Amino acid sequence: MSNFPDREGTALVVIDMQRGVIAGNHEVERVTRNVAALVDRAREQGAPVVWVQDHNELEKGSPEWQLVDELVPHDGETQIDKVYGDSFEDTDLEARLAALGVDRLVVAGAQTDACIRSTLHGALTRGYDVTLVSDAHTTEDLREWGSPISPEQSIGYANLYWTFARSPHAEGTVAATDEVSFAAR
């Protein structure tokens, strides 16, 4: 249903699984294991893996900017540096996905209520079908800065509302790690 009839590929997009981003986030170890499992499955099924790293608040190249040790990009995998929440904004992500023939994204990473949310909506409005992996995204506790909900509630709410995400040419879906397939549709 995507807006790209000439593309049929699926890519895994791993957002901001950086030491300085996920430190102290909700169930980081479980989420990291799930993201690693998705990366392995994408590679096994021949799907591209796209690594997104934020350098708005983290100094590029610093220890905090680095991906967690469990997640290591392979040579040739797409790497995107961003400064905005939406991984498409002011980056070449869209051009790189087009070159890979991708019309569907599987999204995992951090933070649920910031860069994950922004990228989900950015992808949908650009015409990509987007699957949010329900047990492979995380966030920190933002209640001391005014959030009315806990990290667990934020994750649950994102999983709920994304099941209803639609645009004229694309749709959002939610699936657990063990339900995600990167095989050709």
Q: Which tens digit of pLDDT belongs to each residue from 21-73?
A: 999 999 999 999 999 999 999 999 999 999 999 999 899 999 999 999 999 99
Q: Is 1 part of a structural domain of the chain?
A: no
The DSSP call for residue 114 is I
Q: Give the confidence band of 16 by pLDDT, cuts at 50, 70, 90.
A: very high
Do the beta carbons of residue 55 and residue 83 sit within 8 Å?
yes
Pair of tokens at residue 44: 């096994």
pLDDT of residue 47: 98
Q: Is 4 within the bounds of a domain?
A: no
User: In angstroms, rounded to a whole number, what is the distance separating the alpha carbons of residues 48 and 152?
Assistant: 29
Q: Is the pLDDT of residue 159 over 80?
A: yes
Interatomic CA distance for residues 182 and 36, integer angstroms:
14
pTM exceeding the 0.95 threshold for the entire prediction = yes
Residue 2's pLDDT band, with cuts at 50, 70 and 90, is: confident
- Position 96 in a domain: yes
Segment (H or E) for 10? strand 9-15
Domain count within the chain: 1
CATH of the domain at 125: 3.40.50.850
Domain that holds residue 139: 9-179
pLDDT at 185: 64
Query: Which residues 6+ apart lie within 8 Å of 8 measured at CB?
Result: 101, 103, 184, 185
19: in domain: yes
Residue 172 maps to a domain:
yes
Tell me, yes or no, whether 143 lies in a domain. yes
The residue type found at 68 is V
Is residue 173 exposed (0-12), middle (13-18) or buried (19+ Cβ within 10 Å)? middle
Instruction: Note the pLDDT of residue 3.
Output: 85
Torsion of CA 36, 134, 110, 44, to 10 degrees: 30
Give the pLDDT mean for 126-139. 98
pLDDT (mean) for 150-179: 97
Question: Which amino acid, residue 45?
Answer: Q
